[in-house]
Amino acid sequence: MRERRREDASTWRGPVRRYDILKEATIAIVVVLVLTVSLAVLFSSPDVAPVTLQAWASAQPKGFTEIALRELEDTSTSATYGPPYNHGTGFLQQFYGVSIQHAIGVTDPIDPARAFVLDPLDTVTGQPRLTSALDRYAAAPRATRTAWLHSYGKAIAAARLAGPSLEVPSAHYGPVGEMLGAFLGMARSGGLDAELVEHAPFYVTNYTNPILFLGDSAVAQPNSYWNEIVSAQHLQGTQWGMMNETGSWPGQPWLWLYTMWYQVEPMRTSHNGDLEVIVIMTVLSLGLVFVPFIPGLRDLPRMVPIHRLVWKSYYRTRRQETPGTTNGPAEPT
């Protein structure tokens, strides 16, 4: 073993050949440039426009309003998520009792009822009925609000679309009907898209709120507007979506192993699936980095004769040149 290691580290005293490293690098760059330009000319690249809250609210006003209602009820995915947004447990993951997510805690506090619905509504001016509805809602005790939201939830099941607005049968839902009606109108006009972005209304670079809000529909409603587009493009997690790209372009095939773990038990159905996959991939990545030190794995290439193909010509000439060698290791045959 040690002998072999010394040989591997020794200086090469065998045949050499001329080699122009700069020429090689130049040719490689030209080859890749030609290849890239050809592919770009032939196939261009994908650019599907982002989904807007406006498009969602216009396509599915009822589904949209139901998600807004859940935000007010604090029952949406975002509201119950857990760290780093709040103290819920909906997406709190742990591995054999260890949860770094829990240990680090809430670093980006988000109150969806306020951030997604009430704050945007508060910015609306010139609608006295909405303003008084919001005042009434704010002044009401918690139990009253809950009762209003509950009866709105029942009423909306029988809602009908009437022109641009949703017709919800009247019931004892207090100001909630006025509020959510205005909220739908705001979304359909496009005003909500601008309002939800953090640091709005100027220099916006953080889209956490609109994506979380939109995402609440993706989790709660299998046939939500967003889900339907995503599924059609084969981007769902259950469709090995992590590897895929919109249209027929190649995506990130190098994520095949990562997304594969989500398709098998126990990760497929586990509440801690994400963390389990991360742990597996961390171990495998460390394995890749430390291949040279892992017995068995590092010996595999010696046993599988793929290297014979690589050094075909060397082994051939070696055999011809040194027929009588006795003290070397066995000839590869």
Among 143, 264, 283, 330, binds another protein (CB under 8 A): 330
Which of residues 11 and 125 has its CB atom nearest to another protein in the complex? Answer: 11
Per rule CB under 8 A, count of chain residues that contact another protein: 114
Which of residues 162 and 288 has its CB atom nearest to another protein in the complex? Answer: 288
Which of residues 16 and 264 has its CB atom nearest to another protein in the complex? Answer: 16
Which of residues 83 and 177 has its CB atom nearest to another protein in the complex? Answer: 83
Q: Write the interaction track for another protein spanning residues 216-235; mark x where CB under 8 A is met and - where it is not.
A: --x-------x--xx--x-x
Please state the closest distance from residue 267 (CB atom) to another protein, in A.
Answer: 11
Does residue 6 bind another protein (CB under 8 A)?
A: yes
Question: Residues 280 to 309: which contact another protein by CB under 8 A?
Answer: 285, 288-293, 298, 301-302, 304, 306-307, 309
Residues β-bridged to residue 162: 165
Does residue 16 bind another protein (CB under 8 A)?
A: yes
The answer for 281, left when phi > 0, alpha when psi is -120 to 50, beta otherwise, is alpha
Question: Residues 28 to 67: which contact another protein by CB under 8 A?
Answer: 28-29, 31-33, 35-37, 39-40, 43-51
DSSP 174-243: TTHHHHHHHHHHHHHHTHHHHHHSBTTTSS--B-HHHHHHHHHHHHH-TT-HHHHHHHHTT-SGGGTGGG
Asked if 159 and 169 touch (Cβ cutoff 8 Å), the reply is yes
Among 54, 75, 131, 208, binds another protein (CB under 8 A): 208
Question: Residues 120 to 159: which contact another protein by CB under 8 A?
Answer: none
Asked if 176 and 148 touch (Cβ cutoff 8 Å), the reply is yes
Please state the closest distance from residue 195 (CB atom) to another protein, in A.
Answer: 16
Question: Residues 163 to 182: which contact another protein by CB under 8 A?
Answer: none
Residue 172's SS3 state is: coil
Question: Residues 253 to 282: which contact another protein by CB under 8 A?
Answer: 253-255, 272, 274-275, 277-278
Among 54, 73, 91, 131, binds another protein (CB under 8 A): 91
Rounded-to-10 torsion of CA 205, 209, 215, 221:
-150
Report DSSP state, residue 96: T
Counting beta carbons within 10 angstroms of the beta carbon of residue 120, is it exposed (0 to 12), middle (13 to 18) or buried (19 or more)?
buried
The Cβ-side half-sphere exposure at 19, using a 13 Å CA radius, reads: 5
Does residue 326 bind another protein (CB under 8 A)?
A: no
In whole angstroms, what is the distance from residue 72 CA to residue 37 CA? 51
Asked if 226 and 51 touch (Cβ cutoff 8 Å), the reply is yes
Among 8, 97, 143, 324, binds another protein (CB under 8 A): 8
Which of residues 265 and 293 has its CB atom nearest to another protein in the complex? Answer: 293
Question: Residues 101 to 120: which contact another protein by CB under 8 A?
Answer: 101, 103-105, 107-108
Asked if 80 and 113 touch (Cβ cutoff 8 Å), the reply is no
In whole angstroms, what is the distance from residue 236 CA to residue 256 CA? 14
Window contacting another protein (CB under 8 A); options: 61-69, 140-148, 159-167, 248-256: 248-256
Please state the closest distance from residue 323 (CB atom) to another protein, in A.
Answer: 12
Which of residues 59 and 124 has its CB atom nearest to another protein in the complex? Answer: 59
What contacts 213, CB < 8 A, 6 or more positions away? 53, 67, 71, 78, 112, 116, 196
